[in-house]
Each structure stands twice: as C-alpha cells, then as structure tokens.
Amino acid sequence: MLTPNSFYKLIPESDFDAANITDCVRLSPLDLQSGFMHLSFGRQAMNTVQNFFKGAGTPLAIALDMAELQHHGITLRVESNKPGGEQYPHLYGTQKIPLAAVTKVWHLVEQVDGSWGVSGTSPHLPCIKN
C-alpha cells in the first residue's frame, strides 16, 4: 500500500531500468521540459495515475528515499501545480534518479470501474531496499 506522505515517481513500467544504478528512471518529456522531476505524495498518486496514465498498461509507483536523493545533490520542493493549486513534490538539481534512492517499486493496475489500485511490489527487483 502507498504511504500517504511518502514520495513517489509515477512512470510507465517500460521507463524503469533496475540495471542502471546511476539513472534507473527514464524521465517524461514533461520532466525534461520543466527542468525538474514531478512526483506525487502517496495520497495523490491514484489521481495522478488517473489523469496521466489511463490506458497506459501497468504504471509503476517508485517509492523514493529523500535522504538518499539529497546525498546525491537533489533538492525537494513542494510547490503548487498552478497558482492556488494543490501542492506537489518536485525534485531539482539533477535529471537522474539513482537506484540507491529507490526503496520499493509498486505495480498499479486499473480496476474494472476505472479506479486504480496497487497490485503489489515488483518481485523481479532483488536489489531494491525494503
């Protein structure tokens, strides 16, 4: 289950590469264009998936260790997505996520009613910290 105040990078499953220890996540065009990485708190993740991943197969929610990211020079800022809008976490300082910052990888699945749920952690990633 996703923790409400934890930080997650939401990506299509094909954009995660556990073999690349220095940059395990391929960033979205929006991340690259914005100059920062868009994240969601756990409490926001399902709405984000609903808005950006509908029909995209099995997206992943990648749980991130902020202390490890800060060790790599990445800064967290919580900012609104528009004036007066909801506050989302954003990462600044690099466009890479090191594998050491990944604590869990969750598979998200679209339910019959159109909502999203967590199907469990990825069993094929033995190098991920738990």
Domain ranges of the chain: 7-121
Per-residue pLDDT at 124: 46
Per residue in 39-59, pLDDT (tens digit) is 999 999 999 998 888 776 789
What is the rounded CA–CA span in Å between residue 129 and residue 124?
Answer: 13
What is the rounded CA–CA span in Å between residue 119 and residue 66?
Answer: 24
The answer to whether the pTM exceeds 0.85 is yes
Ranges of residues in the chain whose predicted pLDDT is under 50: 123-124, 126-130
Per-residue pLDDT at 126: 40
What is the rounded CA–CA span in Å between residue 10 and residue 82?
Answer: 20
Per-residue pLDDT at 112: 82
Task: Please state which CATH number belongs to domain 7-121.
Answer: 3.20.170.20
Please tell me the number of Cα atoms within 13 Å of 29 on its side-chain side.
Answer: 1
Residues with Cβ within 8 Å of 109's Cβ and at least 6 positions away in sequence, in order, are 58, 116, 117, 118, 119
Per-residue pLDDT at 120: 66
